[in-house]
Amino acid sequence: MNYRHAFHAGNFADVTKHVLLVRILVHLLRKEAPFRVVDTHAGIGRYDLAGPEAKRTGEWQGGIGRLDAPFGDDVEALLAPYRAVLDATRERYGRTVYPGSPAIVRELIRPSDRAVFVERHPADADTLTGRFNATANAKVLRLDGWTALGALLPPKERRGLVLIDPPFEEPGETEHALARLAAAIRRWPTGIYALWYPIKRGPGMDGPLARFAASLGREALRLEVLVADPAGRAGLAGSGLLVVNPPWTLAEEAGTLLPALAARLAQEPGAGFRCEALRAAAGPAHR
Ligand SMILES: C[S@@+](CC[C@H](N)C(=O)[O-])C[C@H]1O[C@@H](n2cnc3c(N)ncnc32)[C@H](O)[C@@H]1O
């Protein structure tokens, strides 16, 4: 268990994931009925981009560091709640602090909604508990995120989101994650599910996602931003979010947001985006 998110916080993958996370939460907030959020791989909730870990990689400079200049009005309208969470975090904790998924969730949910943040790393779970256990509607569990999926689903609410954001450091983690996701959907079929995945050189997600989609029998979106051509790069070239039972608004919103983010976050030729309904016939490739 070597992965520490502090080295990567605020990078292009975090920004893409968090922008989409906020859009899903905005959708859930439109209805009065309370909802549940389960964050199975939560991290420590907020990160100091001036701290030693973030400074060592400098990854945030290619992510949140590129978002200062405004986009066009249509993009800014969709980014506004994400920017509001950034502003609130910076005001409370300092200009150099970037919010992780628990901070974003806690900032946006209402007192009637509930969130559970799961983290397995002992020190990170302690940090997260110190930061997030104080509010009545948020709970931190030091637990294996995959075990939590079995234990926490279904919640009493019909609506909600399960964010699954593993580090993908073990071989075979993609197949494992998709199998656990399928089992979770069977336990709580009405929830929205968002699984983050890395895009790197190699066999990629086409095969696993096609097999997953074939057995899914429900709607799903494949949303990706590439900052480089995976074939020409040893490290992370992009990241994706597989969203099952997506809000009906998300495909259109992603169609506005992802091209703008891909253009802004691009690092090398081959950058682009994908916004594809998984059960549809072969959609557009990366552009
Ligand atoms: C990519 S980071 C999470 C980032 C966070 N979701 C965010 O968006 O701010 C992945 C986290 O999962 C934790 N982790 C790794 N394996 C885990 C497991 N089996 N169960 C729960 N957490 C795990 C790591 O310690 C790390 O903090």
**Sole residue written with tokens 């790393």:** 121
Please state, in angstroms and rounded to a whole number, the distance separating the CA atoms of residues 41 and 138: 15
Pocket test for ligand 1, best of 15, 18, 41 (most atoms within 8 A of CB): 41
CA distance linking residue 159 with residue 188, whole number of Å: 9
Query: Based on C-alpha coordinates, what's the Rg of the chain?
Result: 18
What does the alpha-carbon distance between residue 285 and residue 276 come to, in Å, rounded to a whole number?
Answer: 9
Task: Please state the φ and ψ torsions of residue 38, each to the nearest 5 degrees.
Answer: -120, 120
**How does residue 282 score in pLDDT terms, banded at 50, 70 and 90?**
very low
How many angstroms does the Cα of residue 241 sit away from the middle of ligand 1?
A: 15
Ligand 1 pocket member 198 (CB < 6 A) = no
pTM: 0.96
Domain boundaries of the chain, sorted by first residue? 5-277
Q: Is there a contact between 245 and 218 (Cβ–Cβ < 8 Å)?
A: yes
In the prediction, which pLDDT does 97 show? 98
Class of domain 5-277: alpha beta
> pLDDT digits over 183-204, tens only?
999 999 999 999 999 999 988 8
The residue contributing the CA closest to ligand 1 atom 27 is 43
Whether 126 lines ligand 1, by a CB cut-off of 6 Å, is no
